[in-house]
A = this chain, B = another copy of it.
Amino acid sequence: MSKIQWSETENKIAQQAFQTAYQRETSTLIANVRDRSATITELQDLWNLHDLLSTKRYEIDGKYSYDPDSAVFDLANFIKEGWLSLEDLRGLNSEVLSKISALLRMQY
């Protein structure tokens, strides 16, 4: 895949999309932890929550650092994970959008 040249506006749109995905993933995680904590009665449930937080912290750390060179993959991944829709990428050029759509059709 050839390197994409992002215009300043496109960079801003992509960065905003990263921010949107980040907000959605983290607020969903916080809501899940709050719901789950409210039902905890056993110590093992608490350690399961700890394991979940360890995994999520590791996953989220660095995931939302914006890098234009990997942004197309990252954006496609955020869509696959349900944190973004193509609607959130409105304003990106058609080359970028078609690359993202191609990635979404691939099993990677």
Contact = CB atoms under 8 A, between A and B. Distances in A.
Contacts of A29: 43, 46
Interface string A43-58: 1001101100110010
B50 A54 contact: yes
A55 to B, nearest CB: 10
A16 interface: no
Contacts of A42: 30
A47 to B, nearest CB: 6
B47 A57 contact: yes
A49 B53 contact: yes
Given A47-B57, A50-B54, A33 B26 contact: no
A102 interface: no
